[in-house]
Amino acid sequence: MNTKSNTVKKLTELAKTIRSKNAGTDKITFDIIFRESETYELVKRAQVLTRKTVADILSIDEGRITDFVEYDPAYAIKFTILRPRPSGCAGDPDIFGSQQYAPFLDVEVDLTA
């Protein structure tokens, strides 16, 4: 019997919204929003989304994270990073910053945390 499937879920199974978007020309902001308090609190306790884990997931230096907020009233974890180059400049692969959330889709959350 596979017990991992009983104790671990992907963030996509738990969050109602996982998105990224421009936050001005030099930043991209991410929102991970949950439907209910219990799931939101479980993800916070599991510590899968912290400044350090976000930097690791995105393969960036932690210093590029300008904001990191666990916003309890909305059951949301929000963070903003500095872009490596301004939006729309030569070499920018995602002018709207809307494709940057993909690395978070496979994040695993231990439900026993």
Between 86 and 107, where is the model more confident? 107
Asked if the structure places residue 49 within a domain, the reply is yes
Give the pair of three-digit tokens for residue 15.
């969050």
Asked if the structure places residue 91 within a domain, the reply is no
Residue range of the domain that includes 43: 4-85+96-105
pTM of the entire predicted model: 0.90
Nearest-CA neighbor of 30 among 101, 93, 107, 88?
101
d(CA 94, CA 31): 17
Asked if the structure places residue 110 within a domain, the reply is no
- pLDDT at residue 1 greater than cutoff 70: no
How would you classify residue 62: left for phi > 0, otherwise alpha for psi between -120 and 50, otherwise beta?
alpha
Q: Which own/partner contact pairs does 59-64 have at CB distance under 8 Å and 24+ positions apart? A: none
